[in-house]
Structure 1
Amino acid sequence: MTQPATPAPSPAATAAEEVASPLQGLENSLIEMLGTSPWLVRVALAVVVGLVGWWAVKLLTRGLDRVMQRAGMDQILRDFLRNFARVLGLVVVLVAVLDAVGVPTTSLLAVLGAAGLAIGLALKDSLSNIASGVMLIVLRPFRAGDAVEIAGKEGVVERVRIFQTVLRAYQNHDIILPNSQITTQPIVNFTSRPQRRIDLAVGIGYGEEIRKAREVLLGIARGHDKVLATPEPEVLVAGLGESSVDLVLRAWVGTPDFVATRSDLTEAVHRSFSEQGISIPFPQRDLHIYHHGGDGRALPIDQVVTLAEGDGKPRT
């Protein structure tokens, strides 16, 4: 009668046995040498493995960071890969410690795999954040130090974590956004290009000359040392508003100079318009008041009184 064939061991089990065999041999040697309890030897060996493994992981992550830095990799990508390598290394150390204690790691890994599936279903949102973090690292819509607007929040990118991205607001507080929210929202990167255009809206009165106002605005832009000559500044008529003729001054500047130059141009426009006698009107309304007498006839305004001045009746 033929014997049933013995199933071949899986690659994972074979690897576990290869890792465990040196530790098992060291454990047997220590037991024979010290003549003490096998349990104490296992605990001591586990402590040594844990300390050495922790030190090795720390050393390897530092070396990995130096290599990535020399390769000129982005800071966000370096942080993400360094943290991922640290977590992976600590998991390996934990498995080695459990193996040194005597816990069967092969069956433990199988249990952890089944538990991981259940946990993954329960933590699908967290896993979505991890996947989104990987997408941000690979696609790189922004880098550390970029000024961005994400989901209505503006700030400077500090770092991308496994679950979250941290922005530093302009008021110097942190904004923490889930990675899954970032990948599903429009991202505005203000510093991705070397130049930006300032659109400065200015309103002038209907009695003012548009040509004169245009010359004043162009002179202001051309006279500022941060405004680029190419593309040239331009002034457009944006529309006819309720109280003003709406003009737009367009001027190109280097991205780092955007905020300061926009402030300078705004101040210069106010000063130059005042010197040139060009009015900047505020919103106005024409108010027509009618009051009808008892016979329905409209009365002149001088015959209308308010309740505060009289009884609300027209003067006779």
Structure 2
Amino acid sequence: MYADLVAVWSVLWTLRPDPIPEIQQTYFSTIGIQLLTTAVLVVLVVLSLTFGRRLESIVEDRYDRHIGEASRIVWLLFVIAAGIYVLSVVWHVTYFVRLVLETLVIGRWTAIQQLITASIVLVAYLLIRFVNRSIDELQGTSSLTKHQSEVAYHVADIGIALGAMTLILTLWGVDLTNIFIGAGAITAIVGLAARETLAAVLAGFILLFSRPFRVGDWIEVQNHSGIVKDVTIFNTKIQTFSDEHVLVPNDIITESDLTNLSRNDQLRVEVEVGIDYETDVHHAREVVVEAVEDLDSIRSSPDPHVIAKRFADSSILLEVRVWIGEPTMRRRWNARTDAIEAIKVAFDREGITIPYPQRVQSARGERFPVEDVQSDRPTTPQVESE
């Protein structure tokens, strides 16, 4: 330890070589010269910082953005250190620099610990950058969704940071047992106080791995139907067709029935129409199929077909089934409207009646006689004419 102190003192002494006192007495002996030199030094520092930005752009164009940023930081540290030392010489306070460095005297083992700590931090930073860059590349190839990428960012960064912190604490001899016990107690308290939030976070991870939908899909959940705009750890943002933005907690989505209308890239649209009981059902079905099969708003495959659904009060109810591609609410509305218009035109051409609701009343069994009940109102006396 004593040898280390001697070595450090020898280094400190070189901060004030023999010519420095002579230069201080000759050139920096008055307040005016010191102030003027300080002003010139400030200008030089500003110019040096400008040069640092230029240096960063040059290195970035030639190598990489991170290397350019690192070069600027190194240059900035050098300028600051040089400026502090020059100011100490100008104002005759080099002893203060020696005093500061003296307080930073450390042993060999402490220096090794600090060096290893700095290495761990640097490796963790580079590892985080590498993992995030890999996640970006996977997202670019559509292997990961935006939601999955965001979750992967947070999980990777937190995992690497916790691992690096654990190594550093172990290196410095910190007992991690009490830390783990305290973290467990805090986790239990937070878990009891924020059960719903933790449930939403857990559901967010379930959605991450199960991937029942993606951003841009048309889904129906909890009486809400719309396009998925964003998926976070806590909730899912849906834009309804009334232009409303609904935030649905992820735990509600995992606990409810979910319908993804965009998953199969096609959607069946049903249109109901009633025909008169006196109409030939088979002929009416053929007319409907011919009316809708050539519409541009529906797909030709699967073929549209018509089924007799049930006996209604005033008609036989037919159900027309057609398919649309790349399902959206607008395409569904257009297909339904086009089908109704085409069916109406075809029925008018073929003379097929779409009956109005009507009821037929008839008596059963014995008929009840209806007597003519005279009114109790007084009658107007008739006057006989002569």
TM norm structure 2: 0.55
The Cα shift of 1:197 comes to: 2.1
Matches within 5 A, 1:123-138: 123-138=194-209
SS of equivalent to 2:339: helix
Matched, 1:284 2:358: yes
The Cα shift of 1:124 comes to: 2.3
Structure 2 CA distance, aligned partners of 1:312 and 1:64?
A: 99
Q: Which residue of 1 aligns with 2:292?
A: 221
Q: Which residue of 2 aligns with 1:72?
A: 142
Structure 2 CA distance, aligned partners of 1:121 and 1:252?
A: 49
Q: Which residue of 1 aligns with 2:370?
A: 298
**CA shift digits 1:240-266 (9 cap, x unpaired):** 111111111122332334442222112
Going from structure 1 to structure 2, the CA distance change for 1:299 and 1:255 (only over 3 Å counts) comes to farther
Going from structure 1 to structure 2, the CA distance change for 1:64 and 1:211 (only over 3 Å counts) comes to same
Of the candidates 214, 217, 238, which is equivalent to residue 146 of structure 1? 217
Contact 2:139 2:149 in 1 (8 A): yes
Going from structure 1 to structure 2, the CA distance change for 1:112 and 1:298 (only over 3 Å counts) comes to same
Contact 1:64 1:82 in 2 (8 A): no
More divergent stretch after superposition (234-243 vs 112-121):
112-121
**CA shift digits 1:84-128 (9 cap, x unpaired):** 4456678789x79xx9xxxx7955554233211221133222222
Structure 1 CA distance, aligned partners of 2:153 and 2:376?
A: 81
Matches within 5 A, 1:88-99: none
Contact 2:305 2:322 in 1 (8 A): yes
Going from structure 1 to structure 2, the CA distance change for 1:195 and 1:260 (only over 3 Å counts) comes to same
Going from structure 1 to structure 2, the CA distance change for 1:90 and 1:203 (only over 3 Å counts) comes to farther
Q: Which residue of 2 aligns with 1:236?
A: 307
The Cα shift of 1:129 comes to: 1.5
Structure 1 CA distance, aligned partners of 2:343 and 2:98?
A: 88
Matches within 5 A, 1:17-56: 33=100
Of the candidates 241, 249, 264, which is equivalent to residue 193 of structure 1? 264
- The amino acid across from 2:320 in the alignment is L
The Cα shift of 1:200 comes to: 1.6
SS of equivalent to 1:200: strand
Q: Which residue of 1 aligns with 2:280?
A: 209
Structure 2 CA distance, aligned partners of 1:206 and 1:59?
A: 73
TM norm structure 1: 0.65
Structure 1 CA distance, aligned partners of 2:249 and 2:196?
A: 10
Structure 1 CA distance, aligned partners of 2:337 and 2:103?
A: 79
Matched, 1:116 2:187: yes
Instruction: Give the unaligned 5+ runs of structure 2.
Output: 1-96, 105-117, 380-386
- The amino acid across from 2:100 in the alignment is M
- The amino acid across from 1:271 in the alignment is V
Contact 1:149 1:187 in 2 (8 A): yes
**CA shift digits 1:205-244 (9 cap, x unpaired):** 2232323322221111222134334332222111111111
The Cα shift of 1:204 comes to: 1.1
- The amino acid across from 2:223 in the alignment is G
More helix by share: 2
Structure 1 CA distance, aligned partners of 2:179 and 2:126?
A: 24
**CA shift digits 1:261-280 (9 cap, x unpaired):** 22211222223323433222
Q: Which residue of 1 aligns with 2:24?
A: none
Question: Which has the higher relative contact order, 1 or 2, with Cα contacts under 8 A spaced 6 or more apart?
Answer: 1
Q: Percent identity?
A: 25
Of the candidates 299, 318, 341, which is equivalent to residue 267 of structure 1? 341
Contact 1:237 1:247 in 2 (8 A): yes
Going from structure 1 to structure 2, the CA distance change for 1:275 and 1:31 (only over 3 Å counts) comes to farther
Contact 2:288 2:343 in 1 (8 A): yes
Q: Which residue of 1 aligns with 2:114?
A: none
More divergent stretch after superposition (79-88 vs 263-272):
79-88
Structure 2 CA distance, aligned partners of 1:167 and 1:227?
A: 26
SS of equivalent to 2:272: strand
The Cα shift of 1:137 comes to: 0.9
Greater gyration radius: 2
Contact 2:128 2:156 in 1 (8 A): no
Going from structure 1 to structure 2, the CA distance change for 1:79 and 1:35 (only over 3 Å counts) comes to same
Q: Which residue of 2 aligns with 1:21?
A: none
Instruction: Give the unaligned 5+ runs of structure 1.
Output: 1-29, 38-48, 290-295, 305-310
Going from structure 1 to structure 2, the CA distance change for 1:297 and 1:69 (only over 3 Å counts) comes to same
Contact 1:57 1:90 in 2 (8 A): no
Structure 1 CA distance, aligned partners of 2:127 and 2:242?
A: 38
